Amino acid sequence: MEKLNCIIIEDEPLAAEILQDYIAEVHFLELKGTYRNALWALDALKQFRIDVIFLDIHLPKLKGLDFIKILDQVPQIIITTAYREYAIDSYELNVTDYLLKPIQFNRFLMAVNKLKKEDKEKASPGVAEEKTERKYLLITVQKLKVKAYFDEILYIESKKKYVLIVTENGSYQTRIQLTEIELRLDQQLFIRIHRSFIVAKNKVESFSAIQVKIQQHLIPVGRSYKKEALKLIV
């Protein structure tokens, strides 16, 4: 098996040292660097092919979960933290595992063996032809994890503390901010046309300077979004 290149983003020297020792014991992991600041790690992602990030949550300047959201291509992520309360938010960002400090070596091995399994799955050839993985938002709806597939979403509406995701097969209400949803969407497929609305470009049937039509839904175009929205939808 080809080695997986990994980095550590951890501002506690002792915690970083423990992870370095653990990684050294795993034959399929190769450590490319350790960083105390997530912003410094961006250079490593440009310089090397990084397959795995061991990521703390409480970091200076840029928090761990916010760091994941700004990445164009997200490697496999293993969260390493002393805080339990971010687990749900982390799994909504498709992290591979969530390790609580102090991290025991056997628990570390369980996490990295998930990486090994995922790597094998990626390397396995298709029976007939390569399948394109459908992109989706992983959201929490009434304590259940739900996949809202990009190709089924019609539009997304902000409702104060919640957003309503309207799809071809129904709608979902989840407790999250519209700005956070926007960061997780493919910008080639979706566009924000109002402070409260994001629409799927290929679902727009007709539009004017003040609204767009998607199936039976009429969605307003905000003044500050008008010029850019009309240009991109065309």
Q: pLDDT tier at 231 (50, 70, 90 boundaries)?
A: low
CA 93 centroid distance within chain:
4
| Per-residue pLDDT tens over the stretch 104-160 | 999 999 999 988 665 555 544 444 444 457 788 888 888 788 889 999 999 999 998
Q: How confident is the model at residue 233, as a pLDDT?
A: 56
CA 126 centroid distance within chain:
25
**More confident position, 187 or 23:** 23
Q: pLDDT tier at 91 (50, 70, 90 boundaries)?
A: confident
Q: How confident is the model at residue 130, as a pLDDT?
A: 46
Lookup: tokens for 214: 């998607």
Q: How confident is the model at residue 186, as a pLDDT?
A: 84
DSSP summary character for residue 127? S
In percent, the amount of the chain with pLDDT more than 70 equals 90
- CATH number of this structure's domain 136-233: 2.40.50.1020
Question: Taking the domains of the chain in order of start, what are their residue ranges?
Answer: 4-123, 136-233
Give Cβ neighbours of residue 18 (< 8 Å, ≥ 6 apart): 102, 103
Section 193-204 average pLDDT: 92
Section 11-21 average pLDDT: 96
| Per-residue pLDDT tens over the stretch 49-81 | 999 999 999 998 889 999 999 888 899 999 999
Buried b (16+ CB within 10 A) or exposed e, 153-181: bbbbbbeeeebebbbeeeebebebebeeb
Tell me the sheet residues that pair with 167.
153, 170
Section 176-193 average pLDDT: 86
Report the chain's terminal Cα–Cα distance, integer Å: 47
Q: pLDDT tier at 232 (50, 70, 90 boundaries)?
A: low
d(CA 56, CA 42): 15
- CATH number of this structure's domain 4-123: 3.40.50.2300
pTM of the model: 0.53
Q: How confident is the model at residue 25, as a pLDDT?
A: 93
